[in-house]
Chains A and B, each alone.
Chain A
Amino acid sequence: MSTMSLRRPAGWTILRYVALVALCLVWVYPFLWLVSASLKSPLEVFSKGLNLLPDVPVWENYARAWGQAGFSRYMLNTFFVTIGTVVVVVFHTALSGYVLGRHDFVGRKVIIGILGATLVVPAGLTVIPIVDLTSALGLLNGHWGIILALAGSGQSAAILLYAGYFRGLPRELEEAAFMDGAGFLRIFFYIMLPLAGPVTATVTVLTFLAAWNAFLIPLVFTFGTPELRTLPVGMLAFVGTNETDWSGMAAAATISLLPVIVFFFFVQRYFVEGIAGAVKA
């Protein structure tokens, strides 16, 4: 394609740039507006129109969102839920991915079939029994209910990623270790799992983003426990009671989105590899 574009007239190249810059502006502008509104006074948000620069940055908006509106609490809850979910997901998908990818045993095909089928189950279909079950287990009053529900639904892709990777490792690895007297557990934890570092990175990144952004489960789990709300649930509650506080809304949204955007810029590579791999496989 690059050789082709060289022979194209300069007009086409310029047109392409203009179109792409305009498109990217549309894609990025809402975030610029958000940060700008979070630093304006509530009156300025209306009066200054499209001018993104505030007269004086109003940091008080952030203090209001962080303190009074409870976003420090929501942030802590979100961190706890996200990290817990990542740990549980990596643990259980690595174990099952390993045996599904590398061993033949009675029932393997059935399990793979069931995991594949769960890919098309809509989330709305499972939420009522999930709440009912979690409440029956007495887990509705803490973070662990949210963590287990998030870690137990929609993880087939991670399992298949691990299975595919373990399948591709050379046979000799296990045979040599087995000859040296290493058992099943030892082989997995000391040889196979360390080799699967790239998959663990991808699964960690994808799960981190999914858990941070999760909404339905944290929403219905925290109806009776506002102190357990995560950031998106807290956001909905905030605008429900402070609909006219535009700059407070913007500060709260900026606080909620910043960690995940920063995280993404650091780990972009794993993320893009992970989702691109899903299509090729």
Chain B
Amino acid sequence: MQQNSKPVMARIWADRWIYVFLLPTLTLVGAFTIYPVVASIWFSFLDWNGFERAGSFIGLANYNELLADPLFWNAFKNTVVFLVLAVPLRVGLALLLAIILNAHFPLVRVFRTAIFLPVVTTAAIVGVVMRYVLDPTGGPLNIALLNSHILGQPLNFLGSAALALYSAVGIWVWKWLGITLIYWLAALQTIPRDLYEAAELDGAGPWRQFRCITLPLLTPFTLIITLITVIDATNVFDLMLTLTGGGPFYATEVIDIYVYRQAFTSNVPRLGYASAAAIFFGIMFIAVAAVQIIALRRVRSGRHDQ
């Protein structure tokens, strides 16, 4: 710290090894994360099909077209519906399960591992496999539901526009519940056990203990776990492309798929237009994330002041 009195250039020279150590990370992150964000903003002002080396500047025309495109708003709506259904379901179900599994009883590790198993598997392959598991004619889920007389006739979970998005929510929660479970278990283990023992001596029942000890102490974790889950829920490309490809009739087309379709699978790629869609949604999303991060900071600094 005595270096602080030296002039800036002398400090930088003295620390030259530090900058050498940073070079690989700065190069990679610069090329594959920071440059792409900046370039996307630039691309969003271009009319560019990708076959030519560069596009032509058209100002805000892409954005104007975007705001008038019903399929963009459809994708926007699907993403929001997905978030609003899937995030609370995953966070809440995992908390419930964590409270049950945060104890010592026979087989508890087996249960945790079973719930965690889908997490490590490849989302894109799970998406393909689930097409068959949910198939209306030969898929095991429909056979099980028919055999047990829960259903009178098979449900086309992925082929029906009314059902497909909800089926995708279900598969996504099934796939990732285990990781949220681990987050909650880690959070629960930070609560000192003697708090519960003291509460029990005072005659507080399990529900009261949960409401007055567990929930308040979990608040900062709730915010961070929800934030992580929201970020996850906007990155459902792997699962959605392989599960439904955005169909049927765009019923499950989320923003990622919309951008992918415009940029890579339409007859004439529209890289500028796709970038505008990605940027528009990215700004909305970062705004939501920023609100959550500010809330998290508030809660944390509130803790330190007490």
Contacts and interface: CB of A to CB of B under 8 A. Distances in A.
Nearest to A8: B206
A133 B129 contact: no
A31 B128 contact: no
Contact of B132 (A130, A249, A256): A249
Contacts of A69: none
A50 interface: yes
B35 A133 contact: yes
B37 interface: yes
Given A257-B122, A261-B117, A5 B105 contact: yes
Contact of B224 (A104, A185, A188, A279): A279
A261 B235 contact: no
Contacts of B21: 95-96, 98-99, 188
A122 B235 contact: yes
A188 to B, nearest CB: 8
B143 A50 contact: yes
B117 A155 contact: no
B40 A30 contact: no
A276 B182 contact: yes
Given A120-B231, A149-B32, A236-B128, A125 B118 contact: no
Nearest to B205: A4
A257 B125 contact: yes
B111 A126 contact: no
B25 A93 contact: yes
**Chain B: interface size category:** 35 or more
Interface string B16-46: 0111011011101101111111011001000
B8 A106 contact: yes
Contacts of A276: 182-183, 185-186
Contact of B242 (A124, A132, A133, A236): A236
Q: Is the interface of A mostly helix, strand, loop or mixed?
A: helix
Contacts of A33: 133, 140
Nearest to B197: A3
Contact of B122 (A4, A153, A256, A275): A256
Interface in B260-296: 260, 263-264, 271, 274-275, 278-279, 281-282, 285-286, 289
Contacts of B164: none
Interface of B: 1, 8, 11-12, 15, 17-19, 21-22, 24-26, 28-29, 31-37, 39-40, 43, 50, 97, 100, 102-105, 107, 110-111, 113-115, 117-118, 120-126, 128-133, 137-138, 140, 143-144, 147, 174, 177, 179, 182-183, 185-187, 190, 196-197, 200, 206, 221, 224-225, 228, 231, 234-235, 237-238, 241-242, 255-256, 259-260, 263-264, 271, 274-275, 278-279, 281-282, 285-286, 289
21 contacts: A4-B200, A27-B174, A28-B117, A34-B129, A49-B147, A92-B25, A96-B26, A99-B18, A106-B12, A119-B231, A122-B234, A122-B278, A125-B282, A128-B36, A129-B36, A148-B32, A152-B32, A213-B123, A215-B122, A261-B120, A261-B121
Given A4-B206, A95-B25, A236-B241, 20 more contacts: A4-B196, A20-B100, A20-B107, A28-B117, A105-B11, A105-B15, A123-B256, A124-B260, A124-B278, A125-B279, A126-B33, A128-B39, A128-B40, A185-B17, A213-B123, A231-B125, A232-B242, A235-B124, A250-B129, A253-B128
Closest 5 CB pairs of A and B: A152-B32, A152-B28, A126-B36, A232-B124, A276-B186
